[in-house]
């Protein structure tokens, strides 16, 4: 049986299990065990624990620390302070609350590293406020989910840490490479809301004059958001200056947010217990996916399938940009049916050698990869932010409404992806200046 046919069966069985509802961890693990037993012998199974432990490198320690940081931010209600400040400053503008929600999502993305914090928190805080003021339900829910998804691109990002660990890339370069694309996409979301609010004022009305705040009240709302923003600057600053590694910076950030919660008197033993339990659960899930994906990729390499794919691509006469675009297309499709962690750990070790052989910049491709993962959080039927939002919206907002609400924001994200593809310096300039 040729390696070509084996590779087809290998991936067909994996996607069959995933499409039939098998959890990704069990799909990756079971396919790996079966193929290793058949083609390498049952003795090869004894190598799997060593393969898994070799994948557990110090960079991964940043994941539970950033998760802890995000969970403290959510449970300590620091997001309420941010929304209050944005509400006072932008509420007088048409579409101001929606634009402010995207801005808060951007800030929280730079503080947490995951999407769930901003999406759930803003869904509970901002959505009732916007619906009360007759905002269109599609714009209200769409801007919350789009703002939350920015946590994938704007550093610190758990997805970037996983990607760096999977392919041996610099976490610092990926962090700084995501800043400009993330800010551009955030600005495009805000611009879209501003334009549609100007064209159709009834969709996003400004708050009534009697509810608006004076300048003194606006500045007063900023006092509780200064410290968390300083933490963001501190985390990225120590990485830039070389004072701390990303893992150490994650510890600094988690400690800083903890101190903020104590100073604001937002911390108690119940919150500490809930935060610790949630951080542990998500970390365990990530580690099990890493373990299963490590076995899968090792089996894939041992069979010679990766070399086969690289040889076929390099031996073809297809333009390398066509290959790159095809890869982006496959990542977008996978984002509809798989979670981002599994896609990163499954596809990054396969695609990066191909990209390297084609002569593309690895950091630039990493940012393109992460931008696709951002879109994956919004694309149905498996977009996580859709699930988060469905759990907290009023009954009158249906799943179909949520699917419709993300369409313009997904299009904007794809435009952002195209811009980074056309102008690679958007992703490579900042890392080249800040990281040696």
Residue 412: which pLDDT band, with cuts at 50, 70 and 90? very high
Q: What is the pTM assigned to this prediction?
A: 0.81
Structural tokens at position 197: 């609010």
pLDDT score at 234: 81
Question: Across residues 273-295, what is the average pLDDT?
Answer: 82
For residue 416, name the pLDDT band (cuts at 50, 70, 90): very high
**Region for 168 from its dihedrals, namely left if φ exceeds 0, alpha if ψ lies in -120 to 50, beta otherwise:** left
Greater pLDDT, 347 or 11: 347
Number of residues that this document lists for the chain: 436
pLDDT tens-digit map of 135-193 = 888 998 998 888 888 878 888 788 888 898 888 888 889 988 999 999 999 999 999 99
Lowest mean pLDDT among 68-82, 347-361, 369-383: 68-82
How far apart (Å, rounded) are the C-alpha atoms in residues 4 and 184?
42
Selected residue with higher pLDDT from 51 and 323: 323
The string of pLDDT tens digits covering residues 275-284 is: 888 888 878 8
The per-residue pLDDT for 325 is 92
Provide the 3-class DSSP secondary structure of residue 325: helix
| Whether the Cβ atoms of residue 18 and residue 336 lie closer than 8 Å to each other | no
Token pair listed for 34: 């079966």
Question: What's the rounded Cα separation, in Å, for the pair 101 and 104?
Answer: 5
Give the C-alpha separation, 171 to 156, whole Å. 9
């Amino acid at each position: 049986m040729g390696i070509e046919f084996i590779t087809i069966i290998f991936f067909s069985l994996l996607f069959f299990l995933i499409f039939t509802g098998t959890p990704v961890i069990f799909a990756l693990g079971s396919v790996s065990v079966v193929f290793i037993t058949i083609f390498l012998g049952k003795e090869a199974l004894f190598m799997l624990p060593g393969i898994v432990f070799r994948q557990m490198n110090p960079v991964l320690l940043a994941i539970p620390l950033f998760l802890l940081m995000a969970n403290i931010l959510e449970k300590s209600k620091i997001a309420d302070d941010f929304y209050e400040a944005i509400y006072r400053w932008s509420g007088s503008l048409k579409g101001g609350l929606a634009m402010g929600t995207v801005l808060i999502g951007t800030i929280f993305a730079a503080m947490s590293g995951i999407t769930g914090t901003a999406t759930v928190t803003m869904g509970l805080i901002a959505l009732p406020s916007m619906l009360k003021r007759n905002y269109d339900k599609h714009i209200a829910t769409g801007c919350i989910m789009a703002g939350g998804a920015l946590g994938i691109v704007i550093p610190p990002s758990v997805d970037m840490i996983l990607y760096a660990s999977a392919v041996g890339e610099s976490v610092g370069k990926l962090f700084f490479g995501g800043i400009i694309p993330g800010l551009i996409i955030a600005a495009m979301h805000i611009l879209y809301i501003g334009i549609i609010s100007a064209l159709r004022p009834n969709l996003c009305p400004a708050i009534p004059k009697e509810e608006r705040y004076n300048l003194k009240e606006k500045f007063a709302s900023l006092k509780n958001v200064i410290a968390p923003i300083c933490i963001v600057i501190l985390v990225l600053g120590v990485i830039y200056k070389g004072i701390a590694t990303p893992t150490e910076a994650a510890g600094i950030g988690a400690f800083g947010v903890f101190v903020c919660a104590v100073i604001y008197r937002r911390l108690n033993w119940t919150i500490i217990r809930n935060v610790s339990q949630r951080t542990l659960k998500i970390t365990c899930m990530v580690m099990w996916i890493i373990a299963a994906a490590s076995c899968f990729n090792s089996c894939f390499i041992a069979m010679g399938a990766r070399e086969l794919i690289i040889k076929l691509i390099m031996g073809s006469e297809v333009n390398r940009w066509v290959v790159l675009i095809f890869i982006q297309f496959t990542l977008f499709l996978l984002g509809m049916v798989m979670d981002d962690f599994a896609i990163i750990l499954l596809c990054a070790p396969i695609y990066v050698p191909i990209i390297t052989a084609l002569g593309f910049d690895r950091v630039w491709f990493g940012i393109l990869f992460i931008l696709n993962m951002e879109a994956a959080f919004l694309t149905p039927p498996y977009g996580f932010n859709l699930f988060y939002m469905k759990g907290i919206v009023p009954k009158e907002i249906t799943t179909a409404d949520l699917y419709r609400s993300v369409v313009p924001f997904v299009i904007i994200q794809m435009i952002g992806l195209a811009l980074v593809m056309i102008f690679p310096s958007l992703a490579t300039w900042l890392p080249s200046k800040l990281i040696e």
